[in-house]
Chains A and B, each alone.
Chain A
Amino acid sequence: MSEIDMSVIKPEMMKPYIWLQTSDGSIQQVEQEIAMFCPFICQEIIQKGTGSSKNCAICLPEKVSPAMLSLVLDYCRFHQVPGRSNKERKSHDEKFIRMDTKRLCDLTSAADSLQLRPLVDLTSRTLARIIEGKSPEEIREIFHLPDDLTEEEKLEPLKNTTDDPRIRLLNRLYAKKRKELKERGRLKNVELEEEHVDERSVDDLLSFINGNDGDSKGSKTSKNKKKNRRKKEQKKNSTLTEASEVKKELSGHSAVSDKIAGTSNMYTEDDTFSHKEFDDDEDVDDEIDPALQAKIDRHICSESRLLQRIVGLPQFTAATTATAEGGSQADGVAPNPTTAILFRYSALLTTYDDDN
């Protein structure tokens, strides 16, 4: 508030109290001096002349509930006193800001709508301190963020512009998982168990995205190359059909918001299981020799296990007993969603162009 504004106010308006109406409709009386600390209120008084009586109370923005107003006024009451030292103000703020996260967010909102910048700064800095150093999981828990990247979204095939065999492999894994999910959804599954921890730093994410070329991977790729070349055409077709299938699937399928632990069973070493899986699987590798297919599956298993080992994810145990019918108790931590998150990040890089 500038001095000029103050001098324009007619003397009869300098009453000690003004009336404020909060979001719930209730009206309260507040010392004018304190309320004027908020630019919004100050503007209302000067430009519209409201607030001088109960009938023409200043209507505060909807984010300002009575509880929030009381907090804001406490803040103003302290700070509008001119004689305080910086140290005093700082220590007051530190005590003032100790409240639960929900109130903190609401207070930020309220202060912003009242245009009280110093309080917005204070609350924002506190929120930043809360976010700092926490994993995304922890942040979601604290702020109750919905983890609403659906399973399907996480499993969208990645663009494979360079025809990277690893990405091809991953897309195939995704395709399988999507099928799994479809089945789970039909059987009305369940219960989410474990938390997956996503503590990867951006650096790790980035480094991971381009792959980790351990020696073991190298040999694997060369082995795969031969097979891949042979089945290149088939794979391409199958991925395409998968993709279009998934799109149809997505439009009709309700989002499964929780992760499904049972998907870890995809990686069981049990050959018979994977055989079974493939007998049902019509889209992928129709014309491939089952034995070869099993070999490929084994490669997929060990590849994803290798990926996890490299990135430092907890090893999943192959000893899950989940079967195609359902029951989703898994002993180990579901590795796939995490891997999915990581590749999701790379998708961020590749799909950014699309979204904008």
Chain B
Amino acid sequence: MADTISSQDLPKIKRNNVGNMKDMISNLPDGILHYILSLLSTKEAVRTSVLSPKWRYLWTQLSTFDFKIPHPLYETNHQNQNSANCLLDLVGRLLCKSNHVERLCVEILKITIDADKVSSLISSAVKHNVHDLQLSIDDRKYLDTKYVLPNCFSASKSLNKLVLQLGFLLYIPDGIRFSSLKILNLSYVRFANEKSVQQLFSGCPVLEELTLYKCIWEYINHITISISSLRTLTIHSDSSCLDYDHYDSCTVTIHAMNIVSLTCTSTPTLKFDLVNPTSIIDANIGIEFDYPQSEVYAANCVFGLLSGLSGVKSLTLTSDTFQCLYLSADTLNLLPLFHNLTNLHIIPSGDMEFTFEVLLDILHKTPKLEVLDIPMVFCAHLEDEDLTINSVPCCFETSLRSFCISNFYGYEAEVRLVKLLLENATILEEMKISFLECLSSNLEHLTNVMNQLGPSDQGNCVTMFQ
């Protein structure tokens, strides 16, 4: 009788039956019904309002809402705009009536709506104590639309997290203040001028996490980030963020008083200036130059940045970043000693030209290295006898515990490196060599390589091949 009903059975069930059966779920305590609704997507939860009168307003008591209008297939037309406006009105009304909204996400992309509606949504959200606000309102028609971020943010005592993706040309008003904002995430934001940027950052006195993702620096040459409470900073930019002619003129000055974790990825490179970087513990750098930047400029930028990071414990770099340095070979030697660095992780990127020489030079700068992870390594000059190492990096002998090479092809340089490690790395515990697909399928080459590597069990080292 009351078996779980599959979708195929449904049409067969006569509606007459419903009258005889008692409603099984609506009598559950409201708290449980709210919990169930919170497990559904916002769309599904709102849909339950048509189930029966009891369910009509149940969804409005939820605390997290994710409203997204899917990308329209065609250009903005009246219908889409109506949906968008309708949605904004609904959200506004919801905020007014409900005391519980804590997390609100509204995403309306590729549909133009009035900037006024955005402002009223923001002021409504602020007024009703939303903790976590995410607004993604972007359409290329906004490109020249100026928008001043509403000052009502200053009145908010509860806003902890703000994620903004606004396609407008953004002006930040004077004196704006985000008194409780801990996490700020700006994506694709186009700042109108430097003053706006400064005003925004100085208005976040307790900010702990800042992310600038593909923000457009078209009108800006110099950005200063000086927030004393900041602990995590992520800056990601690509060629869409800068004006072609001004690739070389953008500088980011970071006052890293308390920053613990820094991530900078930019192609073409921005010039990063680190002030007081002693607190940084882990850094993730992915810098590459892009035409028409000069390689030398890029190398200088990378050098400057890496010099500032000499105190980090854990460093993740893309192979391209290293190659930038290599292009100005002398500068490598001028790098300071990374006296705290225990984990070095190199991610393959771009052309994956990661040369042996560069690796060795770096390893000479990392006396306390414990974990080394590289994608591959090869040598530009195969016949060069200098491939025989002058001096084994001291970390091999004193600190290296774990080594991993993820895209092993069997280049001579790779084989030499592995042999070098096996011979000299006395406290190496674990070596992991992952073969590239093309190597493992080429049996002949594989056996060749394995032979070259020689016996793999030496000392305490456990070698894993895969």
Using a CB–CB cutoff of 8 Å, the interface residues on chain A facing chain B are: 100-103, 105-106, 108-109, 112, 120-121, 124-125, 127-128, 130-134, 136-149, 192, 195, 198, 201-203, 206-207, 209-213, 257-258, 341, 344-345, 348-349, 352-353, 355-356
Contact = CB atoms under 8 A, between A and B. Distances in A.
16 contacts: A101-B24, A102-B2, A105-B24, A112-B32, A133-B44, A136-B50, A139-B51, A142-B5, A145-B18, A147-B18, A202-B43, A202-B46, A202-B47, A203-B69, A203-B83, A211-B82
A145 B26 contact: yes
B10 interface: yes
A206 B10 contact: no
B245 interface: no
| Interface size, B (range) | 35 or more
A206 B86 contact: yes
Given A125-B39, A207-B83, A140 B18 contact: yes
B52 A140 contact: yes
A101 to B, nearest CB: 6
B24 A143 contact: yes
A100 B25 CA distance: 13
B87 interface: yes
A100 B3 contact: yes
A246 B362 CA distance: 85
A108 B32 contact: yes
B19 A257 contact: yes
A149 B52 contact: yes
Nearest to B34: A124
Nearest to B37: A128
A192 B16 CA distance: 8
A146 B19 contact: yes
Interface stretch (B89-97, B186-194, B413-421): B89-97
B60 to A, nearest CB: 8
A132 B44 CA distance: 7
Contact of A206 (B31, B39, B90): B90
Contact of B48 (A139, A206, A209): A139
B82 A195 contact: no
Interface string B50-88: 111101110000000000011000000011101101110
A145 B46 contact: no
Nearest to B80: A207
A137 to B, nearest CB: 7
Contact of A148 (B10, B21, B35, B53): B53
B97 to A, nearest CB: 6
Interface string B1-40: 0111101001101011011011111111101100111011
Contacts of B15: 192, 195, 258
Contacts of B85: 210
B278 interface: no
A266 B51 CA distance: 26
A348 B39 CA distance: 23
Given A105-B24, A108-B32, A148 B78 contact: no
Nearest to B5: A142
B49 interface: yes
A40 to B, nearest CB: 14
Contact of A127 (B13, B36, B82, B90): B36
Nearest to A211: B82
Contacts of B86: 206-207, 209-210
B2 A145 contact: no
Contact of B87 (A147, A206, A356): A206
Contacts of B82: 207, 210-211, 213
Nearest to B20: A144
Q: 3 closest A-B pairs (Cβ-Cβ)?
A: A210-B82, A128-B39, A207-B83
A352 B52 contact: no
B29 A105 contact: no
Nearest to A137: B10
Contacts of A341: 50
A125 B55 CA distance: 18
B19 A109 contact: no
A121 B7 CA distance: 25
B25 A127 contact: yes
A138 B48 contact: no
Contacts of B56: 348
Contact of B43 (A130, A145, A203): A203
B36 A124 contact: yes
Given A145-B51, A202-B46, A349 B23 contact: no
Given A112-B32, A136-B48, A143 B40 contact: no
A102 to B, nearest CB: 4
B221 to A, nearest CB: 42
A316 B153 CA distance: 52
Contact of B22 (A100, A132, A144, A345): A144
Nearest to A128: B39
B183 to A, nearest CB: 27
Interface in B222-259: none
B36 A112 contact: no
Contacts of B89: 349
Given A132-B44, A210-B85, A212-B79, 15 more contacts: A100-B4, A101-B2, A109-B28, A128-B36, A136-B47, A136-B50, A138-B7, A139-B51, A140-B51, A149-B52, A258-B15, A344-B50, A345-B50, A348-B49, A349-B93
A145 B50 contact: no
Contacts of A355: 57
A149 B78 contact: no
A203 B67 CA distance: 9
A141 B10 contact: yes
A343 to B, nearest CB: 12
Contacts of B19: 146, 257
B41 to A, nearest CB: 8
Nearest to A310: B79
B24 A102 contact: yes
